[in-house]
Chain A
Amino acid sequence: MSALAVQGLNLHHGLLHAVRDVSFVVGNGEVVALVGANGAGKTTLLRAIAGAHRPTSGVIALDGKDIAHVPAHRRVGMGIALVPEGRKLFTQMTVEENLLLGRMARRPGPWTVEKVIETFPNLGPRRRAKTGTLSGGEQQATAIGRALMSNPSVLLLDEVSLGLSPIAVERLYESLRTLMQSGTTILLVEQDLGRAMRVASRVICMLEGRLVLEGSTTSLPREKITEAYFGSGHERAMA
């Protein structure tokens, strides 16, 4: 059964039709990459799944149950955790305090502060530091850790490599690899297409709010994704 199913989702930002009739499923334990150019609607889609934006119409089903009208904080309790774009840490609070916030959802599961630090060893020495003083990589690790602390069944990662040095990105994905192999269902937005294709088993491509391409990362040729990514095929057809 699919962990997460989105059916005919539409979402408007005022006059802007940001997500247009999007449908897809993410299977249990699957890692799916959501790619697309800036403004394609990826972040909006993730935030709609997390409950931060209210969709105009459509179904968001978690384990077969429609949650489109459930408030965001209750969705966390149901097993959806978002690592927001730009991390959004509580900078006046320590790493540990940020992590403990994730525990408020009171979902049973394996994640503890110790386990997060084990997964992201760079957080160990910074445990009692205010997150505002951390490096980008440490902040991102904290943000992911905070989401993990709610023991999510579906983890949404929004551009976790944004603003990080290549080394920090490498280290982050190294830590994420064990997570991905452990059977956590993950939907991630990633700008770096090569990396997205390496870590995910399936890729979904959005263009101007629409889902234009979907397929397994092993079978889809990269050129085809690039074409969908920039909509170049579409333009050629128009010309």
Chain B
Amino acid sequence: MINTIIQGVLLGGYYALIAAGLSFMFSVMRIINLAHGSLAVLAAYLLLILAQSFGISPFLGLIIVLPAMAGIGFLLQRFVLDRALRAGQLVPILATFGLAIVIDNALFEGFGANTRSLSNYIGTLSYDSIELPGGIYVGELSVGVFVLAIVVLGGLQLFLSFTSYGRAIRATSEDPDTATTQPGELIDHGPPLRGAELGGVPVRRAAVEAAEVAAVGQVEARREQGRRPAPVGGQDARRGGEGGRHGRTRSGGATVVAVTPSAGAAIGRRDR
């Protein structure tokens, strides 16, 4: 039972990490990015290409893939999501759904449907384990991912709480509600302008920045791909995708979601 809980918590860290970007994007921009998992898998495949063709270790490959995915996040926000959002709340969902289909099928086309793994390129890390007292073994990779999840989520929380940019992001995430309830806003010519701008917060810049951070979160999530077949990772992201609505990432709740099936008992949904 203790073993199950420990493994479940570690798996939850993995889910939480993958959900971080999704949750962050939802809480800040109110965009449900259905392509989140596909983008994470795309990042994993980029690392696979680097490892296979150029012999670059996946960890070093991050130096290339991380900025590349941030760039993709930026372009996606600027040319797809911003425009889609102007057409209504539901359009970005359709747009990202379409994007997910495009990415998934492009990957099928390019790489086939076989399960791929990065584990060949990271030495024995995927198989190494640590023995805990009581004869419980935990995978080094799982522990690494769990620690990374704590660092990423904790860091994100600190960033949102204590930096001026974090405050701007929270303000932007909170405001659209008040802004769009203003009749004057709805009949204005341009896109709805958010009150945050009146506070001197450059909203669109903040939004784009958030998209970048989200993309980075996606790439971070990829590390686990060494162990898990890529397409499953995509599923996991959707499953773990419980976002906080109030401007903070609360994907820690995913841990609960992960423990639940592992323990085979319904613990119930995390509350806010």
Query: What residues of chain A have their CB less than 8 Å away from a CB belonging to chain B?
Result: 12-14, 43-44, 47, 50-54, 71-74, 76-77, 81-82, 84, 88, 90-93, 97-98, 100-105, 146-147, 150
- When the two chains form the complex, which single residue of A12, A44, A92, A104 contacts B200, counting CB atoms closer than 8 Å? A104
Q: Are A101 and B189 in contact (CB under 8 A)?
A: no
A100-B164 CB under 8 A given contacts A71-B197, A72-B193, A93-B171? yes
Note all chain A residues with C-beta closer than 8 A to B171: 90, 93, 98, 101
Note all chain B residues with C-beta closer than 8 A to A88: 175, 178, 195, 198
The reply to whether the CB of B190 lies closer than 8 angstroms to some CB of chain A is yes
Q: Are A90 and B197 in contact (CB under 8 A)?
A: no
Q: How far is the CA of A147 from the CA of B199 in the complex (A)?
A: 7
Q: Are A73 and B184 in contact (CB under 8 A)?
A: no
Which 8 A-B pairs give the minimum distances between C-beta atoms?
A76-B200, A105-B200, A72-B197, A73-B202, A88-B195, A73-B197, A90-B171, A90-B174
* Interface-central residue, B168, B195, B197, B199, by most chain A CB under 10 Å: B199
Note all chain B residues with C-beta closer than 8 A to A93: 167, 170-171, 174
Q: Are A13 and B188 in contact (CB under 8 A)?
A: yes
The reply to whether the CB of B187 lies closer than 8 angstroms to some CB of chain A is yes
Q: Are B168 and A101 in contact (CB under 8 A)?
A: yes
The reply to whether the CB of B86 lies closer than 8 angstroms to some CB of chain A is no
CB-contacts of B215-248 with A (<8 A): 246-247
Q: Are B201 and A101 in contact (CB under 8 A)?
A: yes
Number of interface residues of B (CB under 8 A): 25
Q: How far is the CA of A82 from the CA of B198 in the complex (A)?
A: 6
The reply to whether the CB of B118 lies closer than 8 angstroms to some CB of chain A is no
Q: How far is the CA of A156 from the CA of B167 in the complex (A)?
A: 23
The reply to whether the CB of B203 lies closer than 8 angstroms to some CB of chain A is yes
A50-B198 CB under 8 A given contacts A13-B184, A73-B203? yes
A73-B178 CB under 8 A given contacts A88-B195, A93-B171, A103-B164? no
Q: How far is the CA of A98 from the CA of B174 in the complex (A)?
A: 12
- When the two chains form the complex, which single residue of A13, A47, A53, A76 contacts B199, counting CB atoms closer than 8 Å? A76
Q: Given A52-B198, A73-B201, A92-B247, 5 more contacts at CB 8 Å?
A: A72-B198, A76-B198, A98-B171, A101-B164, A104-B164
- When the two chains form the complex, which single residue of B174, B189, B190 contacts A92, counting CB atoms closer than 8 Å? B174
CB-contacts of B87-121 with A (<8 A): none
Q: Are B170 and A84 in contact (CB under 8 A)?
A: no
Note all chain B residues with C-beta closer than 8 A to A50: 198
CB-contacts of B168-191 with A (<8 A): 168, 170-171, 174-175, 178, 184, 187-190
Note all chain A residues with C-beta closer than 8 A to B193: 52, 72
Q: Are B188 and A53 in contact (CB under 8 A)?
A: yes
Per-position binary interface string of chain B over residues 234-272, scored 1 when its CB falls under 8 Å from any chain A CB and 0 otherwise: 000000000000110000000000000000000000000
Note all chain B residues with C-beta closer than 8 A to A51: 197-198
Note all chain A residues with C-beta closer than 8 A to B203: 73
Q: Are A92 and B201 in contact (CB under 8 A)?
A: no
- When the two chains form the complex, which single residue of B187, B195, B200 contacts A102, counting CB atoms closer than 8 Å? B200
Note all chain B residues with C-beta closer than 8 A to A82: 198
Note all chain B residues with C-beta closer than 8 A to A12: 189
Q: How far is the CA of A211 from the CA of B188 in the complex (A)?
A: 22
Q: How far is the CA of A72 from the CA of B174 in the complex (A)?
A: 18
Q: Are B197 and A100 in contact (CB under 8 A)?
A: no
CB-contacts of B136-175 with A (<8 A): 164, 167-168, 170-171, 174-175
Note all chain B residues with C-beta closer than 8 A to A53: 184, 188
Note all chain B residues with C-beta closer than 8 A to A81: 200
Note all chain A residues with C-beta closer than 8 A to B184: 13, 43-44, 47, 53
Q: Are A90 and B200 in contact (CB under 8 A)?
A: no
A157 nearest CB across to chain B (Å):
13
